[in-house]
Amino acid sequence: MSGVLGRSVETITGALRALFAAEQLATADGFLQRRDPRVSLCAITALALGVVLTRTLGVALCFAALTAGLARLSAVPLRRLLARSAVVPLVSALVVLPQAILLPGDALVRLFGVTVTEAGVAYVLLFTVRVGVGVALLSLLVLTTPFSALVAALRELRVPVPLVWVVAVTYRYLFLFFDELQRLVLARNSRTTGETGLRDGWRDARRIAGTFVLRTLDRGERVGRGMRARGGSRPPSPYGRSRRVGVADYALLALAAVAVVVSGVIRWTP
Amino acid sequence: MDTVIDARGLTHAYPDGTTAISDVDLTIERGERVAVVGANGSGKSTLQLALGGLVAPTAGEVTYFGETTDAEAVRERLGVLLQDPNDYLFNTTVREDIEYGPAQLGLPRERAERRVASLADELGLTDLLDRPPFRLSGGEKQRAAVASVLAFDPDVLLLDEPFGAVDAHYRARIRDLVRDHDGTVVVFTPSLDAVPEIAERVLVVDRDGSIAADASARAVLTDGDLLADVGLRPPTTVRVFAGLLDDSDVPLTVPEARERLRDAL
Ligand SMILES: Nc1ncnc2c1ncn2[C@@H]1O[C@H](COP(=O)(O)OP(=O)(O)OP(=O)(O)O)[C@@H](O)[C@H]1O
Ligand SMILES: [Mg+2]
């Protein structure tokens, strides 16, 4: 699978894998790194909820600025954060793109006989920014807190065990899923030479998709054994990383609470 | 002696019909050092998974510590290391992976942290602890996997190719860790060179997944015909001295061989 298709698959898998990959930033010194994992978890989840709730582009952009500020304070380079969280909103933008034409409203431009409406563009823009900021917030959380500390925090917050289980397992499997995809693409690229046309590319892609499903299932089974061998069939119970909850922790929680309330008020006041 | 693992009529066929192990009877006593050898595809890994309670046998059963047939009930006492470290390391950092077993199996945190630190030091992982496991080299992954199984200090080690892809330096470190383990050790491997250094007893798996021999390391490793039948070759030292010395006299390890040569020269 070389050529255009191969390269784009490689880019997308690389980016998605990066989204789920832990980085050393979790141990770097910064604002979020120094927070109690339970506090980061609650505050950031609340912020993500707040941005997803909003129907106003201005509010969504404020959340974006807040996210950028938190990243800055936590020594997370903005470019890194963008690279990690750009794929999901771009893909979802593609999905909602038809709305730019379908939504009725004042015409913005006419292209090839179709009318792009102002309301449509605003909708697509708002949707993309919301998804983007939501994903960026979650990436920020994962970048600044070790995953096992997050799982431990979920347990300490008395989230029901089955739910923690789902979170822990899903995260790990998504991670493996992209790892497997990356390996498959690499293996294919190392065995195909020269540029192939788009048509061959598609045929190849279909065959790979079949192999991929089988391999992922098989890998899932084997990794499941690896987990069970070390007590994976018992409820997730990583060592906690709680710290003393201090002024900065309360400040972060308050900030998140205010942001969510303001977002809610703006949305629901007529 | 206490029996730690007792398998009766153990058989496993994969869903596609491949019978990987058939009708295996074996008993492992506390403190034994056993190597399970066999050609590629003979069924060593399947036997390991079945003994570790990670695949359900299609027939037969395994009794653990003379008390239960449920492996989950004794999980903290069984150290099953899978052949492929990519299946064994699934956490986001090496540290989390090494801590995973101890945390899940209820080891106190301070003890686990001390163990992680000493194993990391021993296996050269200290600088890799905060890296994601999938970004490690093959040998580094293998070392991290070995550390992950030793971390919760199980009574019985069932190790599938613990030396895979590891360089000579760390191979010796892993060998020493395995040798110093005060419990029972079963190592599954297709390469016989390392066997005399870690095992006194050797089980030979035939190509059809049955047990072809179960004897002392010396008896098996010097039996060229038996090994040829199952698709293996004696260790290098044995091949060098075969025919020159009696089987009972043939050196099995390099230090023994050196001793022999010094006497002769
Ligand atoms: N998931 C599976 N589905 C079907 N057949 C399998 C599966 N895994 C292994 N086998 C088959 O079962 C047999 C035994 O495999 P196993 O992995 O136990 O061999 P092994 O002795 O460990 O080999 P190696 O030295 O290469 O690790 C082989 O014929 C193999 O092809
Ligand atoms: Mg094997």
Residues on B contacting A at a C-beta cutoff of 8 Å: 49, 52, 54-55, 72, 75-76, 78, 80-82, 84, 87-93, 95-96, 99-101, 103-106, 109, 112, 130-132, 134, 148-149, 152
Of B55, B89, B96, the CB nearest to A148: B96
Asked whether the predicted pLDDT for residue A22 surpasses 60, the reply is no
**Is residue A15 domain-shared with residue A33, that is, in the same domain?**
no
Residue nearest to atom 12 of ligand 1 (CA): B20
> Does residue B265 lie within any of the structural domains?
no
Residues A130 and A41 in one domain: yes
Same domain, A253 and A132: yes
Per the structure, the count of domains in chain A is: 2
Q: How far is the CA of B142 from the centre of ligand 2 (A)?
A: 14
Q: Whose CA is nearest to atom 29 of ligand 1?
A: B41
Question: Maximum CA pair distance of chain B?
Answer: 58
Residue B96 has its nearest CB partner, among A23, A147, A237, at: A147
Tell me, yes or no, whether A235 and A214 share the same domain: yes
Residue B62 or A92, more confident: B62
Calculate how close chain B gets to A208, using CA atoms only, in Å.
Answer: 21
Q: Is the pLDDT of residue B207 over 90?
A: yes
For B163, the domain range is: 3-85+154-234
> Are A198 and A232 in a shared domain?
yes
Same domain, A152 and A55: no
Q: Residue with the nearest Cα to atom 28 of ligand 1?
A: B41
Has residue B54 got a pLDDT over 50?
Answer: yes
Residue B119 lies in a domain: no
More confident residue, A225 or A142: A225
**Which of B11, B16, B40, B46 has most ligand 1 atoms within 8 Å of CB, for mutation?**
B46
pLDDT value of position A198:
66
Q: Is the CB of B196 under 6 A from ligand 1?
A: no
Q: Cβ contact (<8 Å) for A225 and B49?
A: yes
Q: Examine the domain organization and report whether A184 and A253 are in the same domain.
A: no
Q: What would the mean pLDDT of B143-167 be, rounded to a whole number? A: 96
Residue B188 forms part of a structural domain: yes
Q: Is residue B187 part of a domain?
A: yes
Residue nearest to atom 1 of ligand 1 (CA): B14
* Highest mean pLDDT (candidates A68-82, A114-128, B4-18): B4-18
For chain A, give the percent of residues with pLDDT over 70: 85
Average pLDDT over residues A77-96: 82
Q: Work out the pLDDT band at A27, boundaries 50, 70, 90.
A: low
pLDDT 10s digits, A218-265: 888 999 999 999 999 999 989 987 788 899 999 999 999 999 999 989
The answer to whether A238 touches A148, Cβ cutoff 8 Å, is: yes
Same domain assignment for residues A103 and A128: yes
* pLDDT for the residue numbered A196: 60
Contact A15, A83 (CB under 8 A): yes
| Domain membership flag for residue B248 | no
Report the domain count for chain B. 1
Contacts of B97 by beta carbon, 8 Å cutoff, 6+ apart: B89, B90, B91, B133, B144, B148
* Ligand with smallest separation from the Cα of B159: 2
pLDDT tens-place string over residues B139-154: 999 999 999 999 999 9
pLDDT exceeds 80 at position A12: no
Task: Test B130 with A27 for CB contact under 8 angstroms.
Answer: yes
Answer yes or no: are the C-beta atoms of A168 and A153 closer than 8 Å. Answer: no
Are residues A171 and A253 both part of a single domain? no
Alpha-carbon distance A222 to B89, whole Å?
A: 11
- Report helix angle A78-85 to A3-20, nearest 10: 120
- Residue A1 pLDDT class (50, 70, 90 cuts): very low
Which ranges of A26-160 would DSSP assign to H, the alpha helix? 37-53, 57-73, 78-85, 87-96, 99-102, 118-144, 147-156
The interface predicted TM-score (ipTM) is 0.92
Considering only A220-224, B118-122, B204-208, B210-214, which range has the smallest mean pLDDT?
A220-224
- Band the pLDDT of A205: cuts 50, 70, 90: confident
* Mean pLDDT of the region A56-65: 93
pTM of the predicted model over 0.95: no
Average pLDDT, chain A: 82
Residue of B nearest to A182 (CA): B134
In a domain, B200, yes or no: yes
Taking the C-alpha atoms of residue A86 and residue A83, their distance in angstroms, rounded to an integer, is 6
pLDDT confidence tier of residue B6, bands split at 50, 70 and 90: very high
Domain containing B162 — which CATH number? 3.40.50.300
DSSP secondary structure letter of residue B237 = H
Nearest CB to B87; choose among A148, A175, A225: A225
pLDDT tens-digit map of B232-261: 999 999 999 988 888 888 999 999 999 989
pLDDT at A259: 92
pLDDT, mean over chain B: 94
Same domain? For A108 and A75 the reply is: yes
Q: Is the pLDDT reported for residue A182 higher than 90?
A: no
pLDDT at A171: 79
Of B264 and B120, which is predicted with more confidence?
A: B120
Position A173 scores a pLDDT of 77
Q: Transcribe B46-90 into DSSP letters.
A: HHHHHHTTSS--SEEEEEETTTBS-GGGGGGGEEEE-S-HHHH--
What value, to the nearest 5°, has the Cα angle with vertex A71 and ends A133 and A137? 30
Q: Do A7 and A71 belong together in one domain?
A: no
Same domain, A55 and A168: no
Task: Provide the domain limits for residue A14.
Answer: 1-23+147-239
Does the pLDDT of residue A175 top 90, yes or no? no
- Each residue's pLDDT tens digit, B82-100: 999 999 998 888 999 999 9
